[in-house]
Amino acid sequence: MSTVEASVTRPRPLGPVLLISGLAWLALNAAILALARGYLPFDRPNLAGQPFWLQVAMPSIAILEQLALMGLVALLSRGRRTTEVGERAPETRVAGRETALVLLYALLAQAGGWIVGPALGYRPFSFHLAGTLVGCSVLASPGEAMVWAGYNFAAFAVIPYLWFRRRYSNRDLCLVFDRGGRDLTVMVCVLLVESAVQLSVMPGILGLPLPVLLRAAPLAFGLFLVGTVLPTMITVYAILLPRYYKLTGSMAITVILGGLTYAAMHLVEGWSSFRTLSDTVLSLLFVILSYTGPGMFKSYVTLRTSNAWVHALGYHAVAPHVLADAPMIARVFGLD
């Protein structure tokens, strides 16, 4: 076994990683509490009636559920080699260069969305359409929704995929069901559990009239599949995640890096406030607090299955973006 291969397969101690992660999580919450002083200046009408302490605690409560889901995935995927994703990446020097270039490209593409959106009379584009999950005071127009989805799809899915597909197979990019039924089992179980959780806290879709639901649900699925699910899957989990594993040789560090990358893709959200320096810092900190956990779970299930489609369809496209966002999409497109 080569030195590079050994670095990928040798287990790394978890203690320091978990300690640093826990301290960082505590520091992040402490900074938010110090800056917010009992008030979050965000445009999130769906959460406006919730007490301040609960709004701050929600991401931490969510990560407990995400850890429980990781346990379920570990049980369902027991016996699999978790090093396989790293073995699909190129050798270390190439992986490092490609990782740096993809991160730079993703930063520039995201900044492009902050320019393109306002230039067309819309809000800055992020990985979420304004109003996703938490609502917003001014709904997106149908044009904004379609242009947002098209920009993200081109910038974060089509271009990166075509560029890397020249040298790497779909299997190298973790985009095949090479374990068939076992991957489907993990995907369906995660989808069922997460759907139950989503409906328990955001049951709005259950109140839609059936004719509206039959139009809004597939529209929400298609719009968010193009605008956020596929861009996330390709850029973060098909391309970057195998290279993170190759470079670190650690599943825990790879999971954390995947989570932080996912959070970084949401820097400018529709609910963010940039009126003051304090609001700006608070918005950025809350993005990290809110999106690192889901991004870590997506990383974990991809590493356990070697299949990025499992998280995309089991923990993104339907739950939450159909179950939670179909009512918003019905209003955006005048279906209700």
Please give the structure tokens belonging to residue 49.
């009636």
Tell me which residue of 195, 177, 182 sits closest to 308, measured CA to CA. 177
How far apart (Å, rounded) are the C-alpha atoms in residues 19 and 206?
41
DSSP 106-161: HHHHHHHHHHHHHHTTSPPP-SS-TTTTT--SSPPPHHHHHHHHHHHIIIIIIHHH
Instruction: Tell me the C-alpha distance between 145 and 143, whole Å.
Output: 5
Tell me which residue has tokens 């955001």.
202
8 Å CB contact between 222 and 329: no
Question: From its phi and psi, is residue 133 left (phi > 0), alpha (psi between -120 and 50) or beta?
Answer: left
Q: How many CA atoms lie within 13 A of 317 on its CB side?
A: 20
CA atoms within 13 A on the CB side of 255: 22
Residue-level pLDDT at 265? 94
Taking a C-beta distance cutoff of 8 angstroms, is the pair 279, 41 a contact? yes
- The answer to whether 321 and 224 have CB atoms below 8 angstroms apart is yes
Q: Is the peptide bond before 16 cis (omega within 30 degrees of 0)?
A: no
Q: Minimal CA–CA distance to 293: which of 13, 11, 32, 28?
A: 28
Whether 254 contacts 245, CB under 8 Å: yes
- In order, the DSSP letters of 48-106 are TTS-HHHHHHHHHHHHHHHHHHHHHHHHHTTT--TTHHHHTS--HHHHHHHHHHHHHHH
Contact 286, 268 (CB under 8 A): no
75: its two tokens: 């049980």
Q: What is the pLDDT along the chain (336 residues), one digit of tens a residue?
A: 344 444 444 555 677 888 888 899 999 999 999 999 999 999 999 998 899 999 999 999 999 999 999 999 999 988 777 778 888 999 999 999 999 999 999 999 999 999 999 999 999 999 999 999 999 999 999 999 999 999 999 999 999 999 999 999 999 999 998 877 889 999 999 999 999 999 999 999 999 999 999 999 999 999 999 999 999 999 999 999 999 999 999 999 999 999 999 999 999 899 999 999 999 999 999 999 999 999 999 999 999 999 999 999 999 999 999 999 999 999 999 997
CB 85 within 8 A of CB 306: yes
Q: What is the domain partition of the chain in residue ranges?
A: 18-332
SS3 334: coil
Give the per-residue pLDDT at 11: 53
Scored b (16 or more CB within 10 A) or e, 50-67 reads eeeeebbeebeebbeebe
With beta carbons less than 8 A apart as the criterion, state whether 236 and 303 touch.
Answer: no
